[in-house]
């Protein structure tokens, strides 16, 4: 295997000191533009690739950012949202020479310790804050640690720059679509109540029903999981005044709801219409195919990565990094919804 090209080799080829090569390649002052150009040309000729360790030592940065996912690993295996989200993050980080430190776990106390270790060991320059909880203990912790962060779909007033994708308008479009199809008993399969985005979706469902003059439908816990959706089907379809339509807080719970409804002998959508949220690809493969709200996890991830790098590398004179709103979720009508049964 050929020896790795080093900064010493570049300095020798360009006829300059090692310190000049470091300044030129890290875009720091101290060398003329003519010398900088000669050094860059020499580095390109030799195929020099700066090591991450060397960049970290010279720039006092880790050149890495962190994502701590607070989920059970088996849930992540079924939910492709995070794969697309991480893919969006990597599409930005790779081009900027940054690495992603990914950690997964479900124990709350251990999650907080992971942030402490990431900050204390200087393993990362900043973190992504996803699946934010109500009164989330990570927020004051990150502030105390002075660890830069970018939040995903946080409520207004977040202390960190935030990437948001509006879901309220999408849920209103689902309610309008179901009402136009004759549905008046519209239930909700909710996500875990401690998650901000689960509360946002439930509130949007409730407000949309109020806006069209309908009473609140029944609510069942779905936990954002297939099993939770199946349990919700048993609960809601066992009611005396069972709903004719169900708005689920995510696609996995909607798919679980459909499977259990069919097992119980109900026809979807003739007996009950079912909608999801996320737009995962699996929803287009199940029978019936799932009416849903399509989100943009890859775009969210890419924008969050850009924001976080802006925070980490930002110029104080340029002012604070501002929140970003991407295009709203999109209603995708498929086979799991139909006219209300008569």
Q: Where in the chain is the domain with CATH 1.10.260.40?
A: 7-50
Query: Hey, how many other C-beta atoms are within 10 angstroms of the C-beta on 39?
Result: 25
Which pLDDT belongs to residue 253? 97
What is the pLDDT, as a whole number, of residue 152?
97
CA 142, CA 153: separation in Å to the nearest integer?
Answer: 17
> What is residue 74's predicted lDDT score, i.e. its pLDDT?
67
pLDDT in tens, 179-190: 999 999 999 999
**280/334 Cα distance (integer angstroms):** 13
Q: Do residues 245 and 183 make contact, with C-beta atoms less than 8 angstroms apart?
A: yes
| The pLDDT value given to residue 1 | 39
Q: How far apart are CA 112 and CA 211, in angstroms?
A: 40
168-295: which CATH architecture?
Answer: 3-Layer(aba) Sandwich (3.40)
Q: What is the CATH number that goes with domain 64-165+298-326? A: 3.40.50.2300
pLDDT for 319: 57
Q: How many CB atoms lie within 10 A of CB 266?
A: 16
Segments of the chain scoring below 50 in pLDDT: 1, 56-57, 316-317
| pLDDT value of residue 40 | 86
Every domain of the chain with CATH number 3.40.50.2300 lies at 64-165+298-326, 168-295
Strand, coil or helix: what is 12?
helix
What distances in angstroms separate CA 285 from CA 99, 131, 289, one per listed residue? 34, 26, 6
What's residue 259's pLDDT?
Answer: 98
Span 7-50: which CATH code? 1.10.260.40
Report the phi/psi class of residue 124: left, alpha or beta, with left for phi > 0 and alpha for psi in -120 to 50.
beta
Q: pLDDT tens digits, residue range 44-60? A: 888 776 655 555 445 56
Q: How far is CA 215 from CA 183, 235, 296, in A?
A: 12, 19, 31
Distance of CA 196 to the CA centre of its chain: 13
SS3 of residue 53 by DSSP: helix
Residue 69's pLDDT is what?
Answer: 86
What confidence score (pLDDT) does residue 20 get?
84
Assess contact for 214 and 245: CB atoms under 8 A: no
Distance CA 138, CA 160 (A): 12
């Amino acid at each position: 295997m050929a020896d790795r090209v080093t900064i010493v080799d570049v300095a020798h080829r360009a006829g300059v000191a090692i310190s000049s090569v470091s300044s030129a390649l890290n875009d720091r002052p101290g060398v003329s533009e003519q010398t900088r150009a000669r050094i860059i040309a020499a580095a390109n000729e030799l195929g020099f690739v700066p090591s991450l360790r060397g960049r970290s030592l010279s720039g006092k940065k880790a050149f890495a950012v962190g994502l701590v996912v607070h989920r059970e690993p088996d849930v992540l295996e079924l939910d492709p949202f995070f794969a697309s989200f991480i893919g969006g993050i990597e599409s930005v980080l790779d081009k900027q020479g940054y690495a992603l430190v990914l950690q997964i776990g479900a124990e709350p106390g251990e999650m907080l310790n992971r942030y402490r270790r990431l900050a204390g060991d200087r393993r990362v320059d900043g973190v992504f804050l996803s699946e934010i909880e109500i009164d989330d203990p990570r927020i004051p912790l990150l502030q105390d640690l002075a660890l830069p962060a970018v939040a995903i779909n946080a409520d207004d007033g977040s202390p960190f720059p935030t990437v948001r994708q509006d879901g309220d308008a999408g849920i209103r479009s689902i309610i309008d679509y179901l009402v136009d199809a004759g549905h008046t008993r519209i239930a909700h399969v909710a996500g875990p109540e401690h998650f901000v985005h689960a509360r946002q979706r439930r509130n949007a469902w409730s407000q949309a029903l109020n806006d069209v003059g309908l009473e609140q439908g029944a609510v069942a816990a779905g936990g954002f999981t297939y099993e939770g959706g199946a349990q919700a089907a048993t609960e809601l379809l066992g009611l005396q005044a069972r709903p004719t339509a169900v708005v689920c807080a995510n696609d996995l719970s909607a798919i679980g709801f459909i499977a259990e409804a069919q097992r119980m002998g109900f026809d979807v959508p003739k007996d009950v219409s079912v909608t999801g949220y996320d737009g995962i690809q699996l929803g287009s493969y199940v029978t019936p195919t799932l009416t849903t709200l399509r989100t943009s996890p890859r775009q969210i991830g890419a924008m969050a990565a850009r924001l976080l790098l802006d925070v980490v590398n930002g110029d104080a004179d340029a002012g604070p990094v501002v929140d970003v709103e991407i295009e709203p979720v999109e209603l995708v009508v498929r086979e799991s919804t139909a006219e209300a049964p008569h």
